[in-house]
């Protein structure tokens, strides 16, 4: 076994960090939230199921989340491969294929239910909980009775896209979720100058009291559109 100690003259800013090897090979993510002095212990090379934390309840919470989510995702991965094999057989068994697909749906439903419960419990309490909440797309309701907007679903989606983001969370920009979420948002918008400016201004206004998030968003938007493919 090897012991490594991370030391520094300043406290690490709150956020999600990556433990990586000398060849930049990623081993695991870990959380720096309310606890900055803690121990990570890994048995063997399983950085999900055989890792324990001492002095960091936030990492214990994240580890438990990854174990549960990983279980359901692993089962669905196995089923996808089984379904491909069954479908490519000389005489595919439709009944067995349907049974496997139904089971995969049940695993997906179980995963969705677990994440939803996790977000309700921790989505406004811890940094990792806020990340998982932000990772969820908003649910688009049916249009109100009498609504004649043929693009109601799209307009609702873009106008409520950021509902699950805590703009008061200063560490959100130091997490792996922020970049893909902002990237997805602007890819959702049509490549129209007025539309892009409108939603960029609205987004930056939401971030005016969060300097790190604001700086990243300004950089991202500028970089994306000064090199636009359109």
CB 134 within 8 Å of CB 172: yes
The reported pLDDT for the residue numbered 2 is 63
Q: Are strands 15-20 and 39-42 parallel, antiparallel or unpaired?
A: unpaired
pLDDT tens figures, 51-63: 888 899 999 999 9
The reported pLDDT for the residue numbered 1 is 57
* Rounded average pLDDT over 111-117: 96
pLDDT band at 149 (very low <50, low <70, confident <90, very high): confident
pLDDT tens figures, 25-51: 888 889 998 888 888 888 877 777 788
Contact partners, residue 100, CB within 8 Å, separation at least 6 = 79, 82, 83, 86
- In sequence order, the β-bridge partners of residue 30 are 17
Give the tokens for residue 64: 């438990």
HSE (CB half, 13 Å, CA atoms) of 4? 7
CA-to-CA distance for 70 and 119, rounded, in angstroms?
17
CA-to-CA distance for 3 and 1, rounded, in angstroms?
7
The reported pLDDT for the residue numbered 215 is 96
Residue 214 scores a pLDDT above 70: yes
Select the more confidently predicted residue: 90 or 44. Answer: 90
**Residue at token pair 């030391």:** 7
Please list the alpha-helical segments (H only) found in the chain: 57-87, 94-122, 127-135, 152-160, 178-188, 193-206, 211-226
Question: Considering the chain, what is the average pLDDT of its residues?
Answer: 91
CA-to-CA distance for 179 and 181, rounded, in angstroms?
5
């Amino acid at each position: 076994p090897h012991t490594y100690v991370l030391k520094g003259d300043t406290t690490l800013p709150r956020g999600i960090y990556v433990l990586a090897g000398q060849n930049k090979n990623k081993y695991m993510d870990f959380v720096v939230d309310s606890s900055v002095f803690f121990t990570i212990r890994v048995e063997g090379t399983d950085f999900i199921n055989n890792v324990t934390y001492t002095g960091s309840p936030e990492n214990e919470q994240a580890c438990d989340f990854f174990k549960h989510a990983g279980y359901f995702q692993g089962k669905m991965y196995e089923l996808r491969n089984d379904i491909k094999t069954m479908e490519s057989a000389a005489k595919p068994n439709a009944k067995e294929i349907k049974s496997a697909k139904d089971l995969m749906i049940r695993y997906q439903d179980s995963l969705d239910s677990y994440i939803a419960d996790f977000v309700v419990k921790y989505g406004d309490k811890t940094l990792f909980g806020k990340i998982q909440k932000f990772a969820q797309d908003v649910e688009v309701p049916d249009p109100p009775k009498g609504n004649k907007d043929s693009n109601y679903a799209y307009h609702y989606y873009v106008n409520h896209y950021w509902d699950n983001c805590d703009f008061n969370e200063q560490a959100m920009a130091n997490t792996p979720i922020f970049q893909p979420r902002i990237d997805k948002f602007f890819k959702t918008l049509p490549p129209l100058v007025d539309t892009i400016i409108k939603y960029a201004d609205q987004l930056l206004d939401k971030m005016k009291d969060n300097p790190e998030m604001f700086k990243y968003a300004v950089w991202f938007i500028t970089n994306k559109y000064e090199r636009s493919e359109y």
